Amino acid sequence: MINFEQTILILTFCAGGLITATIVFWSLRLGITPTPTSARVRSKLLETLPEIVDGNIYELGSGFGSLITVLAKTYPDQIIYGIERSPLPCWISRLSCRHLRNVVIVQQDIFQHEWEGAGLIVCYLYPGAMEKLSKIFNQKLKTGCYIVSHTFRLPGWEPESENKANDLYRSPVYRYRVNHPENKQESGRTDSNLTNDRQPAVQAHN
């Protein structure tokens, strides 16, 4: 007869196996595993973020929510949307962010989202995703929207700033802006509506 301790051990083993299988399945399907942003890269990313954002804030591939909590504290008066397709990280991040009133976790394919109200997009993805998003951002993001990415560049765009994290890999952190002068040829937009980084902006949420 199986005793209580053995039952707990079996249940724990089964739960661990299910969690591992879920992560492996979605990692193979999406082409990337959930990888948290390290503390040193996160610190450099915070230095790179704009002081004022005109519009909604999104983290693409928000994973287990380690970065989105920092964004929520950095921009306490705005809604931070975490977009994550994999169900397990999405569920865990919802649980860990439940105390943050300005965080919304959405289980969705990042390539299917609409970006009309975006003022800042933060991402740590992979080269294939960045290449696909490069074309989507050119078509859908409004003038003045910021894009902050670390490790991987946004193909076809010139960053307005590039910083190196103080980690082993000297991980780069890029900041782009829609219709930044270097990107005019790529985006086909005019810069008449480009807002200054320090200019007061109307926030989409209070």
**Highest mean predicted confidence (pLDDT) among 9-18, 22-31, 47-56:** 47-56
Average pLDDT, the chain: 78
- What sign has the CA pseudo-torsion 109, 132, 44, 189? negative
Per-residue pLDDT, 14: 47
The residue-averaged pLDDT of 83-100 equals 89
35 vs 17: which has the higher pLDDT: 35
Neighbours of 120 (CB within 10 A): 24
Rounded Cα distance, 82 and 56, in Å: 11
Helical H segments across the chain, by residue range? 4-30, 39-48, 68-74, 87-96, 127-140, 184-187
Per-residue pLDDT, 11: 45
pLDDT at 195 over 80: no
Rounded Cα distance, 94 and 44, in Å: 25
| pTM of the model as a whole | 0.73
Percentage above 70 pLDDT, the chain: 70
Per-residue pLDDT, 116: 76
Q: Tell me the per-residue pLDDT of 146-168, one tens digit each, with 9 for 90 and over.
A: 999 999 999 999 999 999 998 88
The residue-averaged pLDDT of 49-60 equals 95
